[in-house]
Amino acid sequence: MKKIIKYLLFILLITTIALAATGKLYYYKALVYNFVDIDDLNLFYNREVKNGTGMPWNVSTDYNKKNLSDTLTALLEANKSVAFLVLKNDSICFEKYWENYGQESLSNSFSMAKSIVALLIGKAIDEGKIKSLDQPVADFIPGFKEGEKTKITIRHLMMMSSGLDWNEGYASLTSQVTEAYYGTQLYKQVTSLGVAEAPGKFWEYKSCDTELLAIIVNKATGKSLAEYASEKLWKPLGAEHNAQWSLDQKDGIEKAYCCFYSNARDFARFGKLVLQHGRWNNEQIIDSAFIALCTTPNNLPDKEDNKPAQHYGYQWWLSNISNHPVYYMRGILGQYVIVIPDMQMIIVRLGHKRSNNPDGKPNDYKFYAEQVIKMYE
């Protein structure tokens, strides 16, 4: 038995040395925690997104007087929801929490963070820190100053059309997304990518594009992403609580493609900002023309079927639900901030699971919105 233990320890030592030499020690963390969760905040280093003077939401006189349908309740519970919030005409009209979550509970945004990064790019352009969407990435990141990467612009990243060699697979221990989530060399990972095809040719969802946008914000402003988000969004929008943005390592860079931790009420503020075309309390926070770009189909050919990408703008998802145009923020476990402009409505859903079509694409957000539309039409 002692020989077996010694042998196993030797194998573990050799494996650890090999993983350390190749920068893959994060495999251990990925194996231990197995799959991402909304409560991963304490697994990583984080940088605080500080709030300022909080501006509480108005609460409707009809607050929680309407009941969710049985079918909507069943889906929310089947998908292990922790928060469901509805605002209409700038007031909270429905709110429910599960699993001891409440109004102040932090939960992972996952890829909803991509839409936040887009807003920060817009702000940096407004301030002249970035010249335009057509400015080359190479102006900010040295690794893009050679070869085909010189052709990639900020607009390509915003449209998810960089053409970079990235696979958005989630299931494998060795996938690029797993490395981005658990690894500690995110800057090196995304800036050293090769080019798979010409930029601007196809729409293809890639987390690396958003991470590169965040690096550009950092280089252009001289501030960390969390600091810039605090100064230009979180404080002006009157967030009531500090948020957290996870880092790849101590004092590292924000995992900008995901991992912004906040609560349902404060997440809704991003929806209101975009609903109001970039305005907040009579102040133009972000140029309305930029907001329009974010919420208009980019119409590039989708890499999957070559059809125009009418479901995506600039880091924001788009849809039409019950004959209502909709734009929304989306995370992998069914995190949503859904904006229904012609009803002046915002829906926030946070939780552990989502429902998918057979092709793996989510369908639950449509049902959530359809049911709420019926409640308030």
Pair (18, 154) in one structural domain: no
* pLDDT at site 23: 52
Both 28 and 158 in one domain: the answer is: no
Polymer length of the chain: 377
In the three-class reduction of DSSP (H, G, I as helix; E, B as strand; rest coil), residue 334 is classed as: coil
> What is the Cα–Cα distance from 295 to 326, expressed in whole angstroms?
9
Provide the 8-state DSSP code for 311: T
- Residues 21, 57 share a domain: no
Q: Say how many Å lie between the first and final Cα of the chain, rounded.
A: 71
Indicate if 210 and 100 belong to the same structural domain.
Answer: yes
Mean pLDDT, range 33-47, rounded to an integer: 87
pLDDT at 27: 57
Q: What pLDDT, on the 0 to 100 scale, is given for residue 58? A: 98
Report how far residue 115's alpha carbon sits from residue 7's, in angstroms, rounded to the nearest whole number: 49
Alpha helices of the chain — where are they, by DSSP H? 2-21, 26-33, 70-78, 112-126, 154-158, 176-182, 186-191, 207-221, 225-229, 264-275, 288-294, 364-376
Q: Does residue 112 share a domain with residue 11?
A: no
pTM above 0.85, yes or no: yes
Same domain for 51 and 22: no
CA distance 36 to 127: 36
Residues 223 and 372 in one domain: yes
255 and 335: one domain? yes
CA 300 remoteness from chain centre: 21
Closest C-alpha to 278, from 309, 308, 237? 237
Give the pLDDT score at 309.
95
Strand 317-321, strand 324-331: pairing: antiparallel
Q: What is the pLDDT of residues 293-341, one digit of tens each?
A: 999 999 999 999 999 999 999 999 999 999 999 999 999 999 999 999 9
Number of domains in the chain: 2
Do 24 and 132 lie in one domain? The reply is: no
Q: Are residues 364 and 273 in the same domain?
A: yes
SS3 for 135-155, per residue? CEHHHCCHHHCCHHHHHCEHH
pLDDT, tens digit, 9 for 90 and up, residues 116-137: 999 999 999 999 999 999 999 9
- Mean pLDDT throughout 215-231? 98
The one-letter code for the residue type at 317 is W
- Mean pLDDT confidence for 329-354: 98
CATH of the domain at 273: 3.40.710.10
What is the C-alpha separation between 261 and 208, in angstroms, rounded?
20
Q: Look over the chain and give the mean of its residue pLDDT values, rounded to a whole number.
A: 92
Q: Is the pLDDT of residue 10 over 60?
A: no
Domain span at residue 254 reads 40-376
**208 in the same domain as 189:** yes
| Residues 366, 311: Cα–Cα separation, whole Å | 13
Let me know whether 124 and 17 are in one domain: no
Q: Is 163 exposed, middle or buried (0-12, 13-18, 19+ CB in 10 A)?
A: buried
Asked if 216 and 130 touch (Cβ cutoff 8 Å), the reply is yes
Mean pLDDT across 351-375: 94
